[in-house]
């Protein structure tokens, strides 16, 4: 992409975004919202003007990373305006949450989601399942069918992406060679009108509209849980709406946002039954239709449709007729889908097997890795995308102590679904943004924060909110400026940590949890963060003894606590490279970016499906070498190497192990295409020397021999 085109879509949309924000501010003020400060608005416009001038001058400046920095600046100005506008909308909620939140709580998220759309789509190609949803949408729009043979042949993917795509593994093939997609047609059908009008951008704008509607419905649902707490509900709503991960899904084509939308529509009507205890025609539509559409959106969403039906039966006074009718209809939909899949795919579960959905097939460690990873994994977890969500840990504890029904609803709706999804390797994301498979639980986690936020003026609470909020803001700006970095491959690495490791030449990833590369951090972070967040939130700091208004001693203490939280986070971030450079090197993952390579390539290929099932590594061919920075943990060390010989020629391959220039050992693996290992040492290790692994041997004409190096474990002795 040329420099002048990098911001073309953003600058084209900018006047419309400014007009929408102005309209929201003006008309909400007429309805009772607080007026926005003119000085602050003038400051935002001035900052925006400077950024636009820099954008126009950027091709001449030619500074590295200037585009991303400018994009982050635009996002920061937008975030400042959104924070002010959310605060100004507070009077519209009144003293008690109503049935229909004002339309501004839909329009403001929609404006934000559309504002980030041009930059995000221009700097990240559709990935994962997105291209195939869009291809089905294109076929439904112009061919009026879901058969994709001609669409692949004609290269219709050019309408929404640059790189070609091929049918996915497991896509069904008809009796005459017809190609179909394994993805259901319900989501593409919903996108057809927008795609017909606006192509790719029209479809993505429709997804933004669905996400904004999900945000509005979440606020509407709040009246069932915490009607007397509009202040805290507004804060939780803003976090849900404008922070990752929902913000990252707003401009992408995934089935999880529509699924969450259908669940909230049904649950809102179900909880109304608790007051009336009788069914109306609107209940049949508002409850029955979402329940029947969920499995049509994605078969696994049947695991949420059934719990919704159970909740409807319970809150309506346990009637027989509605639950029987809807249960029979849901059973017919499920049976029809299984029969259809059997005829088209030769498998009722499409590309999956019954063993994959059998909970008894998995060991306890699989549930631990999957369940904890959905929250803590550095690449695919909720807390990795938005650290401020860590406050949900004490929030859930508080809900449990109060025995609130929100926790029951969360368990009933999410537990059967996560029981099937969590232990499977698919939860790692399949090249999607974080927290994909548990996104349905996000509105409930947002509601869980409401009782906790009632004590947000505690100094410890302020420290957590300020520190984690600042870190989340920084990461959000990063995800928006470099949108491709939210698509981490299932190999235990993240783009952000890779970039940091490459810049400083140190292994920083080892300090962050991963459910793919199990390490001490994987098991330490959950109990430590639960303990720290709980203690910090409620610990009676001396500052909490101050009383008075926000301008008095108590308010001053709260401000000091907030600044202290930000300073603590900044200090920890600054200490990270120092700690990484001083702690002993015990494990080296060869493919990591801090390992300097003279050649070779990653193994397996980054596009291989379910990479976590493979031993990740780096292919080192004869004549190539790698250099690993090592921080000694003692004077002597033993090295355990793991690798796989790739024999392309009938000649030997030797792997030389060196400490700097000093040869320590030579390993000559003998088994071709089989993982093998060797332990060498102990050796004296000179301080400051890097570990060097070099492949040597004869090199006849043709493809040379090589070795796939998985990892090196270093055991230090004093």
The reported pLDDT for the residue numbered 354 is: 76
Considering the chain, what is the average pLDDT of its residues? 89
The reported pLDDT for the residue numbered 565 is: 82
Task: pLDDT band for 351, please (50, 70, 90 cuts).
Answer: confident
CA–CA separation, 360 and 347 (whole Å): 21
Q: What is the pLDDT of residues 401-420, one digit of tens each?
A: 999 999 999 999 999 999 88
Query: Torsion angle of alpha carbons 84, 87, 88, 92, nearest 10°?
Result: 150
Which residues 6+ apart lie within 8 Å of 103 measured at CB? none
Neighbours of 99 (CB within 10 A): 8
* DSSP secondary structure code for residue 92 in this structure: G
Task: pLDDT band for 550, please (50, 70, 90 cuts).
Answer: very low
Encoded tokens for 597? 């390579």
Average pLDDT on 665-672 reads 88
The reported pLDDT for the residue numbered 692 is: 94
pLDDT at 64 over 70: no
Query: Torsion angle of alpha carbons 94, 98, 102, 105, nearest 10°?
Result: 90
Q: What is the pLDDT of residues 469-522, one digit of tens each?
A: 999 999 999 999 999 898 887 788 889 999 999 888 888 989 999 988 888 999
CB-side exposure of 300: number of CA atoms within 13 Å?
Answer: 26
Collapsing DSSP to helix, strand or coil, 703 comes out as: coil
Partnered with residue 696 across adjacent β-strands are: 654
CB-side exposure of 439: number of CA atoms within 13 Å?
Answer: 31
Partnered with residue 667 across adjacent β-strands are: 655
Task: pLDDT band for 542, please (50, 70, 90 cuts).
Answer: low
Share of the chain above pLDDT 70, in %: 95
Collapsing DSSP to helix, strand or coil, 544 comes out as: helix
Best-predicted range by mean pLDDT (52-56, 131-135, 351-355, 425-429)? 131-135
Task: pLDDT band for 547, please (50, 70, 90 cuts).
Answer: very low
Ranking 119-133, 511-525, 566-580 by mean pLDDT, the lowest is 566-580
Which residues 6+ apart lie within 8 Å of 618 measured at CB? 590, 591, 595, 597, 600, 601, 602, 603, 626, 708, 709
pLDDT at 231 over 50: yes
More confident residue, 112 or 347: 112
Partnered with residue 709 across adjacent β-strands are: 618, 643
pLDDT at 71 over 90: yes
- How far, in whole angstroms, is CA 199 from its chain's centroid? 26
Torsion angles phi and psi, residue 572, rounded to 5: -65, -40
CA–CA separation, 245 and 441 (whole Å): 12
Q: What is the pLDDT of residues 198-212, one digit of tens each?
A: 999 999 999 999 999
The reported pLDDT for the residue numbered 549 is: 43
* DSSP 3-state percent helix, strand, coil across the chain (nearest 5): 60, 10, 30
CA–CA separation, 658 and 666 (whole Å): 9
The count of residues in the chain is 718
Average pLDDT on 83-98 reads 95
Which residues 6+ apart lie within 8 Å of 384 measured at CB? 376, 377, 378, 434, 494, 512
Task: pLDDT band for 577, please (50, 70, 90 cuts).
Answer: confident
Average pLDDT on 409-438 reads 84
């Amino acid at each position: 992409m040329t420099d002048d085109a990098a911001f073309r879509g953003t600058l084209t949309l900018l006047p419309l975004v400014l007009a929408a924000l102005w309209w929201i501010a003006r008309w909400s003020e007429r309805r009772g919202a607080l007026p926005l400060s003119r000085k602050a608005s003038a400051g935002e416009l001035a900052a925006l003007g400077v950024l636009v001038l820099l954008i126009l001058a950027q091709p001449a400046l030619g500074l590295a990373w200037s585009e991303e920095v400018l994009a982050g600046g635009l996002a920061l100005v937008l975030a400042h305006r959104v924070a002010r506008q959310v605060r100004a909308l507070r009077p519209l909620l009144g003293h008690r949450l109503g049935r229909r939140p004002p339309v501004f709580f839909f329009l403001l998220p929609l404006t934000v989601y559309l504002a980030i759309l041009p930059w995000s789509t221009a700097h990240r190609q559709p990935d994962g399942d997105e291209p195939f949803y869009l291809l089905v949408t294109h076929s439904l729009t112009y061919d009026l069918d879901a058969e994709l043979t001609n669409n692949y042949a004609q290269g219709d993917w050019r309408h929404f992406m640059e790189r070609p795509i091929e049918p996915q593994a497991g896509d069904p093939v008809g009796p005459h060679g017809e190609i179909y997609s394994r993805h259901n047609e319900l989501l593409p059908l919903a996108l057809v009108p927008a795609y017909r009008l606006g192509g790719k951008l029209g479809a993505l704008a429709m997804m933004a509209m669905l996400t904004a509607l999900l945000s509005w419905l979440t606020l509407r649902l709040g009246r069932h849980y915490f009607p007397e707490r509009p202040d805290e509900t507004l804060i939780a709503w803003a976090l849900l709406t404008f922070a990752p991960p929902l913000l990252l899904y707003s401009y992408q084509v995934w089935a999880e946002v529509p699924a969450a939308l259908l669940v909230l529509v049904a649950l809102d009507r179900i909880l109304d039954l608790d007051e009336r205890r009788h069914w109306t025609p609107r209940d049949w539509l508002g409850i029955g239709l979402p329940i029947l559409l969920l499995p049509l959106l994605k078969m696994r969403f049947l695991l949420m449709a059934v719990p919704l039906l159970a909740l409807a039966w319970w809150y309506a006074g346990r009637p027989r007729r509605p639950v029987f009718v809807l249960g029979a209809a849901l059973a017919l939909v499920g049976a029809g889908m299984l029969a259809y899949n059997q005829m088209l795919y030769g498998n009722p579960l499409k590309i999956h097997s019954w063993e994959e959905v059998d909970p008894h097939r998995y060991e306890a460690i699989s549930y631990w890795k999957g369940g904890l990873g959905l929250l803590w994994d550095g690449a695919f977890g909720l807390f990795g995308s938005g650290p401020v969500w860590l406050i949900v840990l004490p929030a859930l504890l508080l809900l449990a102590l109060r025995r609130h029904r929100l926790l029951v609803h969360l368990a009933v709706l999410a537990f059967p679904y996560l029981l099937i999804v969590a232990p499977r390797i698919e939860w790692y994301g399949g090249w999607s943004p974080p927290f994909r498979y548990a996104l349905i639980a996000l509105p409930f986690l947002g509601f869980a924060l409401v009782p906790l936020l009632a004590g947000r003026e505690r100094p410890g609470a302020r420290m957590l909110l300020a520190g984690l909020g600042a870190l989340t803001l920084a990461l959000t700006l990063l995800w928006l400026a470099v949108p491709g970095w939210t698509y981490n491959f299932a190999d235990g690495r993240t783009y952000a940590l890779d970039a940091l490791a490459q810049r400083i030449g140190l292994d920083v990833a080892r300090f962050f949890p991963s459910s793919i590369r199990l390490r001490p951090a994987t098991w330490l972070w959950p109990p430590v963060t639960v303990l720290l967040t709980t203690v910090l939130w409620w610990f009676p700091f001396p500052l909490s003894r101050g009383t008075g208004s926000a301008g008095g001693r108590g308010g001053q203490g709260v401000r000091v606590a907030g600044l202290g939280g930000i300073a603590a986070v900044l200090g920890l971030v600054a200490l990270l490279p120092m700690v990484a450079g001083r702690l002993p090197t015990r494990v080296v993952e060869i493919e990591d970016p801090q390992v300097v390579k003279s050649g070779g390539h990653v193994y397996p290929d980054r596009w291989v499906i379910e990479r976590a099932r493979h031993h990740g590594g780096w292919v080192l061919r004869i004549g190539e070498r790698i250099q690993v920075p090592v921080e000694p943990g003692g004077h002597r060390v033993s090295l355990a190497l793991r690798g796989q010989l790739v024999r392309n020629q009938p000649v030997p391959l030797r792997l030389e192990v060196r400490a700097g220039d000093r040869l320590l050992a030579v390993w000559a693996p003998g088994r071709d295409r089989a993982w093998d290992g060797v332990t060498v040492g102990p050796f004296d290790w000179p301080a400051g020397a890097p570990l060097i692994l070099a492949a040597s041997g004869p090199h006849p004409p043709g493809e040379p021999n090589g070795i796939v190096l998985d990892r090196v474990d270093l055991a230090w002795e004093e």
